[in-house]
Amino acid sequence: MSDETSVGAVDVTYRGIFQKNLAGVITKELVKAARREDKVGGTVQRYGDSPERNGIPAKQFAVIADDMDSLRVEMTKYEPENVVVVCVMDDTLTKGVESWAWYGVRPINLNLAPGGTLLVISRRSPEELLHWIPRRTYDWNLAILPGEPSFGGLWVYNDDGTDYRTMGAVARVTGGLVSLDSLIAEAGSGKDGDLRAAQLREGYESVTMHPVGAGVGAEDTYVPVEMPGWTQMREGLVVPAVEVGKNNTLFMKYTTRTTRPLVKFDACVKCQICYTVCPDECFIPTPEGHYDINYQHCCGCGICAQSCPVSGCIEMVDETVFESNEPLHSVFESDPAAYEELRAEKVAQAGGANPHYGIY
């Protein structure tokens, strides 16, 4: 925390359900360690009013203050204002996050304080990540903690050390919002203290910092949606009907994806199974009998790839190798060879298709 403020917050942005326990451990342990330094703190979860459907971006905060009055003021806000570090638990979230309905894709660094740090768990380079992260009008820092996204969900705690490695990195990039010594002391009070201490130190030492100047990064296209006031809302619960064959324009879920389905149209046997099993009606019938994909509504659940009877016809491919959500069947229709070249290029760029078992 700087001399100007007595409150600092850590934002943990994670995949709903899949990483809920992971975010909970990080925020709670940061607060407990801060209390060893005679600071005060609390945790708060956001988007808790959403269904936290699998993969939907969600947030938990650790708010740490020098005094109780400052903490109380900050905890009354919908989201803390002095966010000194945003921990991004899955690097595909750098493309932007949308909580659950449709309020627009918010930049991953939207609420990051000037001079703050975006801490991303990733094996990508700073240049690759900045291709997606929107520019700010102030200087900030990009920190990369080498690693893969961890599955630490609502029912399962995957003890792979990601939570403690992340806490160690937070101590490093914040310059001691919570010190490494306090985190180690707190970890030592529980079981596996030596293991936790080693994980904390490893995260502290392996994280790399990359200063980012004002104006560096992707174009910021976010336009906040004007929300109705409570007096403007309709009474009761109203779910407008959607015309058969169309999608609800107020419920686009593509920010839930870590991978997207890519179809090898010339291998398709036109069996209609993908169209039938897709829970979000993302497959669009074409006159030729193929099924195009509405990527704005695809959440990347993988049920289509799991259900397709033709090996390699539908493959789940890393989301970050794609630039847009435009359907692709028109490319195949106009030039099948060019489409196949594009499809093979994307699979190769992603390092191959991802195994997916229709987890939804």
**Mean pLDDT, residues 263-280:** 94
Q: Three-state DSSP class for 47?
A: coil
**Mean pLDDT, residues 197-226:** 95
Residue 154 has pLDDT above 70, yes or no: no
Strand positions, DSSP E, 89-129 = 112-121
d(CA 208, CA 211): 10
Helix axis angle, 193-206 relative to 180-188, nearest 10°?
160
Q: Which residues, listed in sequence order, are joined to residue 292 by a DSSP beta bridge?
A: 284
**Mean pLDDT, residues 283-294:** 93
Most confident of 53-62, 208-217, 284-293: 208-217
Burial class (CB in 10 A: 0-12, 13-18, 19+), 276: exposed
Residue 225 banded pLDDT, cuts 50, 70, 90: confident
Residue 2 has pLDDT above 50, yes or no: no
Q: Could you tell me which CATH number the domain at 254-349 has?
A: 3.30.70.20
**Mean pLDDT, residues 212-217:** 98
**Mean pLDDT, residues 239-243:** 73
- pLDDT of 47: 61
Q: What six digits make up the tokens of 107?
A: 């930049």
Residue 4 has pLDDT above 60, yes or no: no
d(CA 121, CA 148): 7
More confident residue, 55 or 261: 261
- pLDDT of 7: 86
Ranges in the chain annotated CATH 3.40.920.10: 7-212
Residue 17 banded pLDDT, cuts 50, 70, 90: confident
> Which of these, 270, 340, 273, lies nearest to 304 by C-alpha position?
273
Residue 3 has pLDDT above 70, yes or no: no
Residue 229 banded pLDDT, cuts 50, 70, 90: confident
- pLDDT of 49: 44
Residue 164 banded pLDDT, cuts 50, 70, 90: very high
- pLDDT of 156: 66
- pLDDT of 243: 78
Q: How many CA atoms lie within 13 A of 11 on its CB side?
A: 27
More confident residue, 325 or 79: 325
- pLDDT of 360: 43
Ranges in the chain annotated CATH 3.30.70.20: 254-349
Q: Which tens digit of pLDDT belongs to each residue from 245-267?
A: 677 777 788 988 899 999 999 99
> Distances in Å between the alpha carbon of 89 and those of 50, 208, 310?
19, 16, 34
> Which of these, 86, 118, 92, lies nearest to 210 by C-alpha position?
118
User: Strand 259-263 relative to strand 314-318: parallel, antiparallel, unpaired?
Assistant: antiparallel
Residue 343 has pLDDT above 80, yes or no: yes
**Mean pLDDT, residues 106-130:** 96
Q: What is the rounded average pLDDT for all residues in the chain?
A: 89
Residue 46 has pLDDT above 90, yes or no: no
- pLDDT of 357: 60
Residue 107 has pLDDT above 60, yes or no: yes
Residue 302 has pLDDT above 60, yes or no: yes
> Distances in Å between the alpha carbon of 334 and those of 102, 263, 337, 339?
33, 16, 9, 9
Q: Could you tell me which CATH number the domain at 7-212 has?
A: 3.40.920.10
More confident residue, 130 or 103: 130
Residue 290 has pLDDT above 90, yes or no: yes
